Chain A
Amino acid sequence: MVAFRSTDTSGRTTGLLLRCVLYCLLALGLIIVDKRYDHLGRIRRLLSVVAYPVQIAVASPFEGWDWFKDSVTTRDALRADKTKLEAELRLAQFRLQRYEALEAESQRLRALRDSTAGVTDRFVIGDVMDVDLDAFRERVLVNKGAGDGVFVGQAVLDAGGVFGQVARVGQLTSEVILVSDAAHAIPVQINRNGLRTIAVGTGDMHILKLPYLPTSADIVAGDLLVTSGLGGGFPAGYPVGTVAEVKRDPAQSLADIDVKPAAALDRSRELLFVWLKPHDAEPPAQSDKPAQSDKPGPAAKPAPKPSAIKPTTTAAAAP
């Protein structure tokens, strides 16, 4: 049953050892150069373009099936969907009513405090491609790449909260590392009392951990964690997760805290790539600070019209 066909059994394969050693040296060289230096970025970007057709070929049947399912939905289902979405939109608009005013106020207060926490500037939406990467790392492939201005370290959000950050960029695609990856950590803050710490991934999509809080820390199940904006990678104030369980062992100095991620890490199909506003947009406000802090500063510019697609951040509270 298990038979090989060819008759190419005679003779030696000439120079097997030599070729093996050459290839291995080449591979080792690649590993070292890729790890130590940054020269291979362009080569990798080109190679990722070559890999793109394979990825497309694998992903397209699933996308086709999704498209087919979409196109045979009944009218009733569509109508039910529409009603539901309208209700959701109404609720969201209701919540947004005070957003512009609050945002302006927060900007003004931040400027007073010389805070440089990142502020979101613009968004681009990318679709998750139906392709499995490494089974042991929590990563997804997204169909936006260097051509769209995506860069390594960029913050990625979904509708629920922080999803992850860009780990690698190809010309047409990019790899996003999820907040739940075992190699990922994100600076967070408890929304209730401002306590800052770091949330690290576990390799399990449903659990993050807060390993650096003492048992005496003021944290209870149900607390909302938001990004603190420290480190500059992520914009401040986006939900990361809610505390699921706090285990305090008196014998240990650190508490064992489980967090449930806010983003739908295993279900989201559309992701938002975020650009932060560069800090040098703010200096005027900062340099005027002494003069501004003792008298009530001039009111911030009236907020621009609310835009449906791009949550505009109002200009920094410049006089």
Chain B
Amino acid sequence: MMRETRIRRLPMALSALVALALAILPLPTVLESFRPDFLVLVVFYWCIESPRAGGLGLAFASGLALDVIQGVVLGQHALALTLMGAWATHLRLRIRVFSVLSQCLTIFALLAGYQFVLFWVDGATGNPVTNFSRWLAPVIGALLWPALVSTLSRVHER
């Protein structure tokens, strides 16, 4: 068991790093608000795939990395990602047997929850973003979910 766990950490860290790079990749201003939360999707994947390898720790660390890189209040993304990561871990047995459509809907709910926590912390710390386009990212993220799972599980298989 221990050995298995150790082997899994490398693809986990690598995929998280790639997702982090995708999160700050410069896009044209028009497309910027359509950018899905890649890192969040990757964290959800690992929370569902191998919860014992430390999905929650990964969630917290990734959230902190997003906080630092985006320059928002330290702990904002960490809080949102931890909460939703824990929820994904809790739902993982159900998500595995869901059809593709139900999986996407569940992931949409999780992503919307993530955005809501961010929205709430934004408001509580005094710089609210009342832009409607922030709710686009969950939709696009949910649509991307099947592609992400097949990619990551293929990488994981090797």
Measuring CB to CB, which residues of chain A are less than 8 angstroms from any residue of chain B? 1-6, 8-9, 13, 16-17, 19-20, 23-24, 26-31, 33-35, 40, 43-44, 47-48, 50-51, 54-55, 57-59, 62, 130-137, 139, 167-168, 175, 182-183, 203, 205, 266
- Asked whether A27 and B63 contact (CB < 8 A) given A13-B89, A135-B33, A136-B131, the answer is yes
Residue of B nearest to A134 (CB): B70
Asked if A134 and B72 make an inter-chain contact with CB atoms under 8 angstroms apart, the answer reads yes
Partner of A5, one of B70, B78, B86, B157: B157
Chain B residues with Cβ below 8 Å from A136 are 33, 129, 131, 133-134
> Complex: how many Å from CA A4 to CA B121?
33
Minimum CB–CB distance for B51 against chain A, Å: 4
Is B17 located at the chain interface by the 8 A CB criterion?
Answer: yes
Asked if B71 and A133 make an inter-chain contact with CB atoms under 8 angstroms apart, the answer reads yes
Main secondary structure of the interface of B (DSSP, over half): helix
Asked if A4 and B96 make an inter-chain contact with CB atoms under 8 angstroms apart, the answer reads yes
Asked if B79 and A27 make an inter-chain contact with CB atoms under 8 angstroms apart, the answer reads yes
Residue of A nearest to B96 (CB): A4
Q: Beyond A20-B83, A135-B134, list 16 extra A-B contacts (CB 8 Å).
A: A2-B100, A3-B149, A4-B149, A13-B52, A13-B89, A16-B90, A20-B56, A24-B83, A26-B60, A26-B75, A30-B78, A31-B79, A132-B25, A133-B24, A133-B69, A167-B71
| Mask: chain B, 14-49; 1 = CB below 8 Å from A; 0 = not | 000100110011110100110100000000000011
Asked if B71 and A6 make an inter-chain contact with CB atoms under 8 angstroms apart, the answer reads no
- Asked whether A54 and B51 contact (CB < 8 A) given A2-B150, A23-B82, the answer is no
Q: Give the residue among A13, A44, A130 with the most B Cβ atoms within 10 A.
A: A13
